[in-house]
Every structure is written in structure tokens, then in C-alpha cells.
Structure 1
Amino acid sequence: MRTEQETLKAFISCVASYLPENVLTNEQLAMEYPEWSVEKIYEKTGIRSRHIASANETCSSMAVNSAKNLFDKNNVLPEQIDYILLCTQSPDYLLPTTACIVQHELDIPTTAGALDFNLGCSGYVYGLSLAKALIESKQAKKVLLLTSELYSRYINHNDKSVRTLFGDAATATLIEGKLSQTEYIHGFQFGTDGKGARNLIVPHGGSKYPMSNDSRLETEDASGNKRSLSNLYMNGAEILTFSLKTVPKSVGKILESANLKQENIERVIFHQANKFMLDKLRIKTGFTEEQFLISYEDYGNTVSSSIPLGIEKAIKQGKLKNGDKVLVCGFGVGYSWAGCVVEW
């Protein structure tokens, strides 16, 4: 029986992923970088392997595969989807929108909305916010939130500073609505600080600095890493400083906004950057090892896909049950950060 307090609330219905078949292991990397042993790579990153897209894979093909996995495993039909949100920083083209290509490939009705949004490590939380708004304002009933990242396309093979960290992956999340008194996705907090934009960047390839002959000229840094202006550059020390300063404050604001305390949170899933950063963040935020879930060992840093991959892994391992409150927080490139509480 419906009560006066029941209103339409968005919730996560199911999550699935797609991982490229190609796997780059620490053993392979150690053969290419003799100065770094298998043990040293793992000690520095906490990562054992990462999936790398093959030459014929694209942002759209990976997103499509993740959506098909979600449809097949959860008896969802493409015609039920009425909105596609695709988070990526490695789109198929500068234009058209990759979400439009995905709509066609999945045979989702032409009445569906579809858009890309360009965000990295914070993107999944932003996507949850957009999906919640669409559903609770009754603009959509079933939103397909996709993340698809191929950072490997931007990485110079002679740059071990980032090649050891990043992996490729795509995920699909179905967000629906139901009448309830419970807030299933809430406590949102967002943050932006563009002064850190140059600390994680692909300098050339956009409209400001289009590709040119200069874009492909390689330089070597003090650590022997080679890259060009068309490759990914990361200032790891600055990213770490930013994360350790920003994330703990954001977590406090999320809990306050959700009217919760740390002990009310069953699980915590942060953006899976690397072991060193996450170990420090867990200590600074005060969560226990039991609360704090990790998934970077087998995937590496998969940017916007890292949080949903963590959710999917927790489901498979039986670490999420109905009623669990999960605090999720993404942070990085932009600088951009965002977090919220998801009730399972």
C-alpha cells in the first residue's frame, strides 16, 4: 500500500563490465624495463596485471560489450532503455558523440536520449547524479550509465611512470526508479579545481593544440621516461598531494550530507588509483580494512570504470547485501572529485 511519504527514488539495478582479452602483466613489463623487477613494480603500485584494448577495439565497442553483458546476465532488453549516459575521455571521434554510436549498435530505440560526458576518475559519481536527476524528475525510466576508457591509446610504451598504472575497461550500470521512502543514491558532494589541470593531461590533440609534427617529438625526463605531447603526462607527486588533501574532507561532507557516521557505512569503494595512495587515504579517512574494498590488483587504474568494477567485484565476492550503505568517491584528472552514498 502506497504511503504519502513514498516518492520516486532512483536505485542501481545491476552492474556489469567488459575487460579486453589482452593482459599486460608485471612479468611482461619487467622484461621491457630491466631496471624494474616484478617485485618492484608490485611494491610501487600494488597492481599485478592490467587489461589493454587491442588495436581493433574502441570506446564504443567496449561500451557495447559491457552493455550486452549487463543485458544478458540480468534479462534486460535494449528497448527498455530510454537514456544513455557515456562517460569517457577516449571517445571514438571528436564528433559525433560516441553514445549515439552505442545507441545504434545496441538497437536501443531512437526515442532514447544519449550523451557523452568527459570526466575521468570522478565520472562515475557524476553519472549517478545525472541518472538520479533524470529518473526522479520523470524524464527517463531506465538509464544506462556506461564508462569506457582506453587510456592505453595515450600512453607511450617507454613511459613506465604511467604504463605500469593504467588499464582499459568498460562498465555498464542500469539505474531505475521505484516508489519508496528510502534514498538509495544520496549525499552527493562535488568539487573542481582546474588549477591542477596540467598535472594529468594529454597536451596535444584538442582544439587548443591540434596534432602536428611537433606533437609526436619525444623527450626524456630525469627518470628515463619518454613521451611526446600527444601522450599522457602525470605529475604523480602533485596528484597524491591533491588527493590526500581533498578526499578526507570530501568524505566528511558526504557523511554529513547523508546524515550518517562512519560506523553506519558497511563498504567504501574509492577510485582505484594505486596501492600507495589508497593505503594512505584509508588511514587518513579512518575506515577499517573490512569496510575499505580494493580491486586495483587485477585491473590497474581504469579511470571512470574503477568504481563500478569495484562494485561488480564486491557483488561477485558476496561482500554486498541488501541494505548495505556503500560510500563511493572518485578523484583525479581535472582536478575533479565527487562522492555519494549508495544503498544496496
Structure 2
Amino acid sequence: MKIAYYLPSDIIDNEYFANIAKSDEYTTQEIYKKSGIQTRHKASDNELTSDLAAKAALNLGKEYDIDLGNIDTLLLCTQSPEYLQPATVYQLHHKLNLPKSINALEINIACSGYIHGLLIAKSLILSKSAKKVLLCTADLCFKMFEHSDMAQRILFGDGASATIIEQSNVNKIGQITCGTDGSGFFSMYKKYGGYANPFNAQSQSQMTLLMNGPEVFLFTLREVPNLVRQTLKTNNLNSDDIDFFVFHQANLLILEAITKSLKLERSKVIFDIENIGNTSSSSVPIALKRAIENGTIKPGHKVLIAGFGIGLAWSATIINI
């Protein structure tokens, strides 16, 4: 698969949060110790979700000399829509100046959304409903958590990815495993803005995403190891057959807990959170691409990728690089 990404130029370091918190619990050193993150990227005030996705797509076109006008399907995965209606994917379609003949769909999934997007793209191609799919992920995570508790704020950064899935490479995507637990809906959600709880005042705090950190952590330990084992079994592989594992870059504690639970060699797990933070659905493709760029992951490698989070939802597959 051809993958590219975009990270905004504004960088937020731990000193920024330490100056806000003014607490021994959130010094620059303590923030790094808690999260494994030194810096994260922040979209500028005039950058919206569709701008981030468009820049990732344009980077993809430039890097691989792809005419984006030749795609027939555009997918956008985001949890930070620009308007409640219509979907932000139509803004992205317009900003990329794509033909009117293109089908455009939006996926409202967060941290597991990239693999869910691959499932949709692969299904469309195998059913002959599409030949060339552009899958974009983009979220304004920094803004979503800007008014949350400090424990959450320090984790998130902004970013976007773009991936081309087509007939020539669709078979490099293995069998995809997904799961859902709707009983965990309120463990991570945005309370205001929909019809259940409309905005009732001009309050920035109503824009925040609420998260029960301990509950999300326990969900991860409960479901992700099983997800990995099930994905290996579905693809007739075992752990030794996998060259690298790329998990959703939630935070360092979660990544290390998954690694320990599955008894994986740490050298086979990609840790790419220190200078990016948690970018929601973009974290898996960004981590995967950066590991390819720095030569860690090479052609011929088998890579298990897995996302998990809000929903609650989880998904995984194996990519042949």
C-alpha cells in the first residue's frame, strides 16, 4: 500500500502543559513519565479536519506521483467533523478538486478507524464496486481535549494520513478482525452537540471529549490481546511469523502493557508516540509509514496492525509490505 501523512507545523512541548498546570504532578518530567510523550503537533487556528486530510492526500500524490483524480472512491475517517451535517468528506472532495464521478463516504470511528477503513476499501474492491480507493484519516485531537482534565490533554496531537488501496495491492491486506462493545459507549464520548444533549450555552467546555481513563485502560487489556490472537488465527499465522506489530499509539503505558500481556519482544513492537502523541485513527498509518521511512520495516515484512478505542471498537489485520 502507498501511505503518506501530514503533521501540522505547530509543536506543543510538555513545558506548555506544565506552565498551565503549575503542579508537581505535571512537571515536564512527570508528563513524560506518565505518557511517554515529549511533543505533539497542533493544527493552526485556520486548519480544519478537511485541511489536514487534504494535505496528507497531496503528500501522497507527490511522493508516489499519483493523479488523485484517477481514484473512484474517497473515504474519510474522522471524529472531528466540521459540521454536524453534511459529512466533512464532501469538503475534502472539494478541496482536492476531485471529479464528480467519485463516490465519497465518511466513517465516524476513532482509534480503530484506519483498519475499519481498510476493511471497507478492500470489500469495495473485491466486490468490484471500486478499483482505486483513497482512504484518509484526520482528527483535531488537540482541540478535542483542549478543555479536558490534564491527564487527557497531555496525550493528544493532531495529524492525518492518506492511503491508496487498489486492485494491484488489495491482496496485501490480510483477513480483518473487528469487534464492538456498545456497553462501553460512555467510557469516552462527547456529551454535547447532538440531539441527546444540544448546546445550551456558548461554553467551550461543552466541546470537550469526556474519557474514563481507567475504564479505557482495562478495556484495552481485556480485548486487544484476544484481538491479536484471533487475527493471527484467522490468517493462519502465529506470533513468530510477524516481523513487527503496530498498535494504536494510545500512550506508552498501554503500549507496554499490551507488549507484556502478549509476551512480545519489545524490538518487534513499534513505539512512535514520543514526538507525535495520540492522533486517534491516524496513529497506526503514521507509525507504520514512519517505521518504513526509517528502514525498520522493509519490503517483504509481515506487519500486524491493530486499533482500539472509542465505541468501544477494535480491529486488526496483517499487512504484507
1:16 is aligned to 4
**Which has the larger Rg?**
1
The yes-or-no answer on 1:296 pairing with 2:273 is yes
Q: How does 1:63-212 map to 2 (within 5 A)?
A: 63-157=53-147, 159-178=149-168, 183-212=171-200
Find the partner of 1:311 among 257, 280, 288. Answer: 288
1:329 and 1:340 in contact (8 A); partners too:
yes
2:147 and 2:208 in contact (8 A); partners too:
no
1:341 is aligned to 318
Q: CA deviation at 1:199?
A: 1.0
1:320 is aligned to 297
Uncovered stretches (5+) of structure 1, i.e. residues with no partner: 1-11, 218-227
Q: CA deviation at 1:209?
A: 1.0
The yes-or-no answer on 1:247 pairing with 2:224 is yes
- Structure 2 distance, partners of 1:78, 1:183, is 21
> Which deviates more, 170-179 or 257-266?
170-179
- Structure 2 distance, partners of 1:74, 1:18, is 15
Q: Letter of the aligned partner of 1:216 in structure 2?
A: S
Q: Letter of the aligned partner of 2:11 in structure 1?
A: V
> Which deviates more, 261-270 or 315-324?
315-324
CA displacement, residues 152-175 of structure 1 (integer Å, 9 cap, x when unaligned): 232244621211001111110111
1:5 is aligned to none
- Structure 2 distance, partners of 1:37, 1:287, is 32
Q: Displaced runs of 4+ in structure 1, greater than 3 A?
A: none
- Structure 1 distance, partners of 2:168, 2:53, is 26
Length, aligned pairs only: 319
2:301 and 2:320 in contact (8 A); partners too:
yes
CA displacement, residues 93-137 of structure 1 (integer Å, 9 cap, x when unaligned): 111221122112112211111011100000000000011111122
Q: How does 1:38-77 map to 2 (within 5 A)?
A: 38-77=28-67
2:247 is aligned to 270
- Structure 1 distance, partners of 2:127, 2:297, is 28
- Structure 2 distance, partners of 1:151, 1:158, is 11
Match of 1:337, SS state, is: strand
Uncovered stretches (5+) of structure 2, i.e. residues with no partner: none
> Which deviates more, 43-52 or 283-292?
283-292
1:81 and 1:109 in contact (8 A); partners too:
no
2:53 and 2:137 in contact (8 A); partners too:
yes
CA displacement, residues 254-282 of structure 1 (integer Å, 9 cap, x when unaligned): 00000001000001000000001110100
CA displacement, residues 205-260 of structure 1 (integer Å, 9 cap, x when unaligned): 112111112x738xxxxxxxxxx443111111000000001000111100000000
State the TM-score, normalizing by the size of structure 1.
0.90
1:45 and 1:275 in contact (8 A); partners too:
yes
Match of 2:109, SS state, is: coil
RMSD: 1.5
Find the partner of 2:203 among 216, 231, 246. Answer: 216
1:225 is aligned to none
- Structure 2 distance, partners of 1:110, 1:158, is 40
Percent sequence identity is 39
1:9 is aligned to none
